[in-house]
């Protein structure tokens, strides 16, 4: 059985990018009596196939400030921890195939300026200059955020975990949290098992339990009498063969009407979206 403490101030369930980020930021603020438990290996749940998009504009001022903080964190995390994150500020371009969508994008651009973001309203010709592979003949315009970026979710998670460990957090892999211990209506610990047979068991008592179990978070919480409004949904992605002359600095192309986006990945084109992507911008 892994060397698990019997008590901790905080137990984090789940070793994806959210769990490792919580551990890192708690430790930054002086809370280092933290144990993070991952049922298999870090990032093996849903983090490993995350998009890795780093956008800065959100629906509210506070969320936008939080996104800006994240961008600045990714700029410095590699230097701090020595672990690469794959962060690149390639920018993003959202496109509009009709005047209604363009009006919405322009309103978003105005809000971005209020929040202090660098943003440009651009024409189809300017879209083509930024994205030579894009079809623009049926576009009305677009919005360019030059400081948006991309990141490698696996590497970034490892960097956050490395930073958390350096500050005193204990991260244990191959430990499954079977349930949250509830006493008098309050979470007071977790029950764990180790190994495929689940024959090694241990409890950890804790003042706080942080549920970062991703697509399993809902079931874990439900068994403890808590509601987590999270549900796994199927999605798809397409990766092309190598594309001649594709730029490794290509901005992310966002197509709100098509519910999808396109980005460069290792010399190929990566597309994620709905099953009915239109042709504009693609």
Helix 153-166 and helix 61-81, axial crossing angle in degrees, nearest 10: 70
Inter-residue contact 207 to 225 (CB < 8 Å)? no
CATH domain 7-52+152-223 topology: FAD/NAD(P)-binding domain (3.50.50)
Closest CA relative to residue 140, chosen from 106, 108, 107: 106
**pLDDT at residue 282 in the model:** 45
Structure tokens at 207: 């003042």
- Report the distance separating Cα 161 and Cα 73, nearest Å: 14
Closest CA relative to residue 119, chosen from 55, 209, 52, 31: 55
- Report the distance separating Cα 144 and Cα 146, nearest Å: 6
**At 266, is the secondary structure helix, strand, or coil?**
coil
**pLDDT at residue 274 in the model:** 52
Inter-residue contact 203 to 187 (CB < 8 Å)? no
| CB atoms closer than 10 angstroms to residue 259 | 14
CB contact set of 128 (below 8 Å; sequence gap of 6+):
134, 136
**pLDDT at residue 199 in the model:** 59
Task: Report the half-sphere exposure of 117 (CA within 13 A, side-chain side).
Answer: 31
- Report the distance separating Cα 28 and Cα 26, nearest Å: 5
Specify the residue for token string 């929040």.
Answer: 115
Domain extents for the chain?
7-52+152-223
For β-strands 236-239 and 34-37, DSSP reports them as unpaired
**pLDDT at residue 197 in the model:** 54
**At 209, is the secondary structure helix, strand, or coil?**
strand
One digit per residue, pLDDT tens: the chain, 282 residues? 568 899 999 999 999 999 999 999 999 999 999 999 999 999 999 898 888 999 998 888 899 899 999 999 999 999 999 999 999 999 999 999 999 999 999 999 999 999 899 999 999 999 999 999 999 999 999 999 999 999 999 999 999 999 999 999 999 999 999 999 999 999 999 999 985 555 578 899 999 999 999 999 999 999 999 999 988 887 788 899 999 989 999 999 999 998 889 999 999 999 887 544 444 444
Task: Return the bridge partners of 179, or none.
Answer: 191
How many residues are recorded in the chain? Answer: 282
Nearest 5 degrees, angle CA 205-CA 14-CA 236?
Answer: 160
Closest CA relative to residue 114, chosen from 71, 60, 72: 60
């Amino acid at each position: 059985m892994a060397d698990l403490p019997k008590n901790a101030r905080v137990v984090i369930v789940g070793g994806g990018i959210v769990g490792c980020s919580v551990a890192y930021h708690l430790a930054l603020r002086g809370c280092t009596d933290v144990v993070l438990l991952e049922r298999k290996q870090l990032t093996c749940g849903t983090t490993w196939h995350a998009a890795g998009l780093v956008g800065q504009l959100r629906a509210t001022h506070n969320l936008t400030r939080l996104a800006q903080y994240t961008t600045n964190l990714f700029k410095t995390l590699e230097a701090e921890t020595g672990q690469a994150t794959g962060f690149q500020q390639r920018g993003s371009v959202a496109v509009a195939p009709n005047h209604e969508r363009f009006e919405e994008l322009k309103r978003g651009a105005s809000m971005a300026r209020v929040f202090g973001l660098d943003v440009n309203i651009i024409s189809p010709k300017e879209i083509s200059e930024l994205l030579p592979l894009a079809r623009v003949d049926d576009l009305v315009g677009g919005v360019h955020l030059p400081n948006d970026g991309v990141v490698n979710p696996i590497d970034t998670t490892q960097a956050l975990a490395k930073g958390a460990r350096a500050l005193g957090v204990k991260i244990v892999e191959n430990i499954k949290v079977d349930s949250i211990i509830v006493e008098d209506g309050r979470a007071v610990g977790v029950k764990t098992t180790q190994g495929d047979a689940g024959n090694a068991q241990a409890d950890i008592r804790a003042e706080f339990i942080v549920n970062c179990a991703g697509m399993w978070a809902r079931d874990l919480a439900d068994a403890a009498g808590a509601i987590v409004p999270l549900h796994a949904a199927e999605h798809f992605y397409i990766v092309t063969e190598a594309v001649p002359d594709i730029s490794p600095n290509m901005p992310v192309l966002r197509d709100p009407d098509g519910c999808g986006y396109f980005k460069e990945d290792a010399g190929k084109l990566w597309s994620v979206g709905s099953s009915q992507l239109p042709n504009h911008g693609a």
